[in-house]
Structure 1
Amino acid sequence: MRQQAVIEMTGYLAKDGELRRTRDQRAVLGLTMAYTRSRRNPQTNQYEDVGETLWARFALWDDAATQYADRMRKGTPVKVKGIPELRTWEKDGRSGVNLEIQFAEVSIVAEVLQPRSASPAPQAQTSDAADAWSTPGAWGDDTPF
């Protein structure tokens, strides 16, 4: 059996995507997301960060890169799945480790919007057509299913 590690992360983009071209003119959209573990403080009942922030980098390529470049902005909720690879770095006397997700599958996550409590709930409209959809047998005997 071949070994393979796969990681999946859900969160928000940490900055706007960066669209570039490789030497052979392939489009690549560089994306970054951050994860900081948190836990609820039982004394304050608030969530607090625990430990270092893990930065994950990943990319969309070719048509996907150009197609989604304008939608991948800071704060966009995304789900990323791919093969993890660690990269060490040094800059200005500091060093660290970044997580790169190779062969990334990226999807924009739809957030569930909560209605405002001050606005009234929409009223259901009824009509004969709506009743036909909800009433068993309303279409007669020629229904194909």
Structure 2
Amino acid sequence: MTGYRLAAAFAAGFISVLVFHQSLLALLAAAGLTAAQPWSLAPTAPFGVARVISASFFGGLWGVALAFLLLRFPKAPSYWIVALLFGAIAPSLIAWFVVQPLKGSPVGGGFPLAGVLVALAVNGAWGLGAALLFRLVGPRRSALAI
């Protein structure tokens, strides 16, 4: 993967958190389905970075991983199915089994059904959004290469 594609994948993942992930979270919060607040500027430990910026940074890292996977599934509908499934499952599993225990919470936060469904939904939205953005700006045709 070229430097351009890596940067595009990171940017797609970063922006997808801000647009797709947080927008769905806002809709779910407005509907009363989650207490989580979208676009939160609350500081996160240990560096005090705003929660939305931290999530976007990690969304960018996940975007690189997703891009590597999507390059192996270039045609629809597999491209979109892989994006949705990877987006919903991979970040959710890491959050439940790695991040939450590191922060002192129980694994999966106890796995409340609403929390599980919200995590899968917003992360799936992130995956689709990142895939859309990566498709728009990621792989370049050789005719456009400098």
TM interval, short-chain normalised: under 0.3
Q: TM-score, normalised by structure 1?
A: 0.24
Of structures 1 and 2, the one with the larger relative CO (CA 8 A, separation 6+) is 2
Greater helix fraction, Structure 1 or Structure 2: 2
Looking at CA atoms only, which structure, 1 or 2, has the larger radius of gyration? 1
